[in-house]
Amino acid sequence: MPSTLLKKVWDAHAVRTLPNGQTQLFVGLHLIHEVTTPQAFDMLRERGWKVAFPDRTIGTVDHIVPTRDQRRPFGDLMAEQMLSSLERNCQDYGIRLLDLSTGMQGIVHVIGPELGITQPGMTIACGDSHTSTHGAFGAIAFGIGTSQVRDVLASQCLAMDPLKVRRIVLGGRLQSGVYAKDVILEIIRRLGVKAGVGFAYEYAGDTFERMSMDERMTVCNMSIEGGARVGYVNPDQTTFDYIRGRPFAPQGDNFDRACAWWQSMASDPGASYDDEITIDAATIQPTVTWGINPGQSIAIDDRIPASADEEALEFMDFRRGQPLKGTRIDVAFVGSCTNGRLSDLREAARVVRGHRVAPHVKALAVPGSQSVRAAAEREGLDRVFTEAGFEWRGAGCSMCLAMNPDRLEGRQICASSSNRNFKGRQGSPTGRTLLMSPAMVAAAAVAGEVVDVREFASAEVGVGG
Ligand code: SF4
């Protein structure tokens, strides 16, 4: 019987079916960070339990690390305590921690892939919603809460409800100036933020096949914003070429053997799906959110729809029928696990090169990891950003979540390459977030307002996917 990747990976990791119908699923890789683990480790200590598979658990620090000055001890006592507690827990339980001293630190969903830790056919869990990112490699990866972090630490297993699969087929070429971020914003806009509940999203079709791994990660990252617990792309030669030679990847003959197994986990031709939708890539435009969830977006040439939600309009201080083009911004943020990779920084730098950030705009370029930062500096991207008036920061989650000093103030409007525009997400309870691609953020930083990157003066606009 032809089968989907989801079913193959699920079956390969199923320990047993529980009386309530859930599957007890073995977790191949548990990624941990400083925010969702302290209580989980405390619960382990109280019960005298050990970590079942310390060698299948890897830690990093990302949410709370300051990005301006990363010297220890941190200025924020609470952040320092959280990091110290993760260090102690990793040491006590024999878990490898990729901290600031290693050169491998970064946002958990950036370092897993770039170090070759994330591999096809795996089950991956992490106490962060955007764990779906790792599905770009053909892994089944999901975010979990603190009590589940405890369960995985103690047993390396999770009780999971079975998922249906919706195949989202994207065909054709993306227009110039349209990126993977626009693709996923468009998918969420069309289907809604709850359509994915109970589903895994399989992204298929020649547009996804042409995408780089960075682009696939951007799409899978935001699957959770469409309600899907899991999003994945079937592994192919692009996947294998990306993984080859990375520090944690299989080496030598083992790599070839791994590739054969990874390939076998891809969905079979003729596999049946619970739902399937098709989108013409050429119809997708640069997309910007106007509301308070990632599904409330419009193409840059459109106007806020007549059906727009009242609460969102009130919070954002927008009107029905209003265009977003021309909206004055206060802050521009390029970064996060959605768009803080080298290719994202390259696209943003391409737009700002030779320009200056508008005087009223505070602009941040925040690499997703120490490796991304080092690679960007080798290419001189840091100079492009700083000469344009961006602040060039250390690696971390930064303004995606504002659990660190990078925060909006008051009613500021932020053009952001992150993934959530919920009320208060960027630190100020009244701050406003407009989600868009890194190139669009860069263009907005220079113009001082939301613009169409395709019309941006002298910008060489790239093509995503
Ligand atoms: S960048 Fe944002 S979404 Fe990604 S791991 Fe950090 S806080 Fe979570």
Residues 142 and 216 in one domain: no
Residues 226 and 177 in one domain: yes
The total number of structural domains that make up the chain: 3
Give a yes or no: residue 321 inside a domain: yes
Residues 247 and 389 in one domain: no
Q: How far apart are CA 29 and CA 160, in angstroms?
A: 16
Q: How far apart are CA 400 and CA 230, in angstroms?
A: 21
CATH code for the domain in which residue 248 is found: 3.40.1060.10
Residues 278 and 289 in one domain: no
Q: Identify the domain boundary among 282, 316, 340.
A: 282
pLDDT at residue 456, rounded to an integer: 80
Give a yes or no: residue 14 inside a domain: yes
pLDDT tens-place string over residues 394-451: 999 999 998 999 999 999 999 999 999 999 999 999 999 999 999 999 999 999 999 9
Q: How far apart are CA 462 and CA 353, in angstroms?
A: 14
Give a yes or no: residue 272 inside a domain: yes
- 341 CA → ligand 1 middle, Å: 13
Residues 177 and 61 in one domain: no
Residues 266 and 351 in one domain: no
pLDDT tens-place string over residues 320-353: 999 999 999 999 999 999 999 999 999 999 999 9
Q: Which residues line ligand 1 (CB under 6 A)?
A: 62-63, 107-109, 128, 130, 336-337, 397, 400-401, 418-419
Residues 109 and 127 in one domain: yes
Residues 302 and 444 in one domain: yes
Out of 130-139, 172-181, 452-461, which region has the weakest mean confidence (pLDDT)? 452-461
Q: Identify the domain boundary among 242, 261, 282.
A: 282
Give a yes or no: residue 465 inside a domain: no
Kindly state the helix (H) or strand (E) to which residue 312 belongs, with its residue range. Answer: helix 310-316
Q: How far apart are CA 263 and CA 195, in angstroms?
A: 29
CATH code for the domain in which residue 152 is found: 3.30.499.10
Q: How far apart are CA 258 and CA 248, in angstroms?
A: 13
- 264 CA → ligand 1 middle, Å: 31
Residues 302 and 183 in one domain: no
Q: How far apart are CA 63 and CA 213, in angstroms?
A: 23
Distances (CA, A) of 443 to 213, 334, 424, 460: 24, 11, 24, 11
| 85 contact partners, CB below 8 Å, separation of at least 6 | 34, 38, 41
pLDDT confidence bin for 459, thresholds 50/70/90: very low
pLDDT confidence bin for 366, thresholds 50/70/90: very high
pLDDT exceeds 80 at position 461: no
Residues 320 and 436 in one domain: yes
Residues 99 and 188 in one domain: no
Q: Identify the domain boundary among 102, 134, 160.
A: 160
- 142 CA → ligand 1 middle, Å: 14
Arithmetic mean of pLDDT, 294-304: 98
Kindly state the helix (H) or strand (E) to which residue 233 belongs, with its residue range. Answer: strand 230-233
- 405 CA → ligand 1 middle, Å: 15
Mean residue pLDDT across the chain: 97
Q: Could you tell me the residue range of the domain that residue 186 belongs to?
A: 164-282
pLDDT confidence bin for 131, thresholds 50/70/90: very high
Give a yes or no: residue 289 inside a domain: yes
**Substitution site in 132, 407, 418, 425 for ligand 1 pocket (most atoms within 8 Å of beta carbon):** 418
Q: Determine how many CB atoms are found less than 10 A away from the CB of residue 375.
A: 17
Residues 182 and 57 in one domain: no
DSSP annotation string for 370-409: HHHHHHHHHTTHHHHHHHHTPEE--SS-GGGT-SSS----
Kindly state the helix (H) or strand (E) to which residue 220 belongs, with its residue range. Answer: helix 213-221
Give a yes or no: residue 89 inside a domain: yes
Arithmetic mean of pLDDT, 360-386: 98
Q: How far apart are CA 146 and CA 360, in angstroms?
A: 40
Give a yes or no: residue 464 inside a domain: no
Give a yes or no: residue 462 inside a domain: no
Q: Are strands 391-392 and 297-299 parallel, antiparallel or unpaired?
A: unpaired
| 106 contact partners, CB below 8 Å, separation of at least 6 | 60, 62, 98, 114, 367, 368, 369, 370, 371, 372, 395, 396
pLDDT exceeds 50 at position 465: no
pLDDT confidence bin for 460, thresholds 50/70/90: low
- What is the atom index within ligand 1 of the atom nearest the CA of 336? 1
